[in-house]
């Protein structure tokens, strides 16, 4: 698990992204700023336009082969 720092640049990117859900946009751009490989969430509805993969817990476990 990574806790991403949220700074002005992340907030501005989220605000200017045009995504409907601002909180999801903050998570996306925080993850992008940190160079993360994916976002893990139980609710992927707000992440449809994410530039990085968004996985459910089940999808992550499948990728890990467990």
DSSP string, 1-66: --PPP--HHHHHHHHHT--S-HHHHHHHHHHHHTT-S-EE-S--GGGTT-SS-EE-HHHHHHHHT-
Q: Where are the domains of the chain?
A: 8-64
pLDDT at res. 45: 85
11-66 pLDDT, tens digit per residue, is 999 999 999 899 999 999 999 999 999 999 998 888 888 999 999 999 999 999 86
What pTM value is reported for the model? 0.85
């Amino acid at each position: 698990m990574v806790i991403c720092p949220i700074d002005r640049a992340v907030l501005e990117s989220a605000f200017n992204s045009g995504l409907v859900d601002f909180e999801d946009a903050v998570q996306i751009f925080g993850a992008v700023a940190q160079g993360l490989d994916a976002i893990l969430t139980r609710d992927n509805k707000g992440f449809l336009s994410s530039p990085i993969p968004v996985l459910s817990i089940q999808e992550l476990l499948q990728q890990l082969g467990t």
